[in-house]
Amino acid sequence: MKQNHPKKVRDLVDGVLLLDKPVGFSSNDALIKAKRVLNAKKAGHTGTLDPFATGLLPLCFGEATKFSQDLLEADKTYETTVHLGQTTDTGDTEGEVVETRDVNVTLEQIHAVLEKFRGPIAQVPPMYSALKRDGKPLYEYARAGITLEREARNVVIHKLELVSYEAPMLKLVVTCSKGTYIRVLGQDIGEALGCGAHLNALRRTQVGPLTTEGMLTLEQLTAHPAPLSLLAPVDALLSSFPAVHLNAELAKRFLNGQRLALGKEPVTVPAEEGRVRVYLDDKLLGTAQLGEYSILAPERLIAFVQP
């Protein structure tokens, strides 16, 4: 007779883990592993890293998942090595080499080409991507040998710096807007130099206000005797927004979803309008929009706080 084993009870875990994603893991694989170690009930990541890429993958647990959208929209910084002279079908080391060309480029040519890619540019998304067409990710079509037309998308390259060049390896630092494919950037730079290219390495070092400071590997998380203590607080995701501190009465009204006219209250109001993080003492209550006449409109609220 088949035994029914009781379903494992997951814990209500709230916080942010700055994971150093290893090579060979998808972002979802890394999330599942960390979620299991922490025995967390609810978790999500803040934008995927390709399996061959490493570096900063912020993982959100519990109440922090309410604010993960902000990081999906945030600018990101990468360190990358572009292998000139070789083109692969995926644009990185995971694909097959489809073309090899001689590399005869000078530093002067490299600087001139990099200048063309700074600022607003248009990118055609790669076939090996998770973008969907008719409900199916593009990489499934690519694996079946099908190439579909893709519309170019506008992105912004805020920073594109040459770190070093030792032929055929070109090391760069890139800060870019959401939706930028560094693989495509590397390929396009290679084409502009006349020799083609693919990414040899890719490491993410910043997502919005979050940096590699405090970043942990899966091994460090697994080996720690108290892994929950390694989580950053929920408001680590919100450090770039001004803070508003309410008293107990205002906090109660705020958590009930009421708009507050802060101009008439004993509260210090930030000078700029826009998104703010809201506190009672040192407890995060959620985020809000601060509008004209110091009107505070609740946006996303933390569920577990009771003033």
pTM: 0.90
- Is residue 222 located within the same domain as residue 268? no
Inside any domain, residue 307:
no
Residues 284 and 214 in one domain: no
- The structure tokens listed for 23 are 């090579």
The Cα 121–Cα 157 span in angstroms is 7
Under DSSP, the state recorded for 243 is: E
Q: Is residue 279 part of a domain?
A: yes
Active site residue 89: no
User: Would residue 5 count as lying in a domain?
Assistant: no
Q: What is the pLDDT of residue 3?
A: 58
Q: Is residue 182 part of a domain?
A: yes
Q: What is the pLDDT of residue 305?
A: 46
Q: Which of 126-130, 240-244, 292-296 has the lowest mean pLDDT?
A: 126-130
- Report d(CA 78, CA 92) in Å as an integer: 15
Rounded CA-CA distance 62/40 in Å is 8
One domain for residues 20 and 113: no
149 and 260 part of one domain:
no
Look at residue 38 and tell me whether its pLDDT is greater than 70: yes
295 and 190 co-located in one domain = no
Residues 85 and 61 in one domain: no
First-to-last alpha carbon distance for the chain, in angstroms, is: 51
Q: Are residues 83 and 184 in the same domain?
A: yes
Residue 110, SS3 per DSSP: helix
Q: Is residue 39 part of a domain?
A: yes
Residue 292's domain spans which residues?
243-301
As for how many domains the chain has, the answer is 3
Residues 115 and 264 in one domain: no
Q: Could you say which of 14, 20, 50, 70 is catalytic? A: 50
Chain-centre distance of CA 108, in angstroms? 33
Q: Which residues, at least 6 apart from 212, have a Cβ–Cβ distance to it below 8 Å?
A: 18, 20, 55, 56, 205, 206
Res 1 pLDDT > 70: no
CATH at residue 94? 3.30.2350.10
> Residue 150: what pLDDT?
87
Which pLDDT tens digit goes with each residue over 208-253? 999 999 999 999 999 999 999 999 999 999 988 999 999 999 999 9
Q: Do 188 and 152 contact (CB within 8 A), yes or no?
A: no
- The answer as to whether 112 is a domain residue is yes
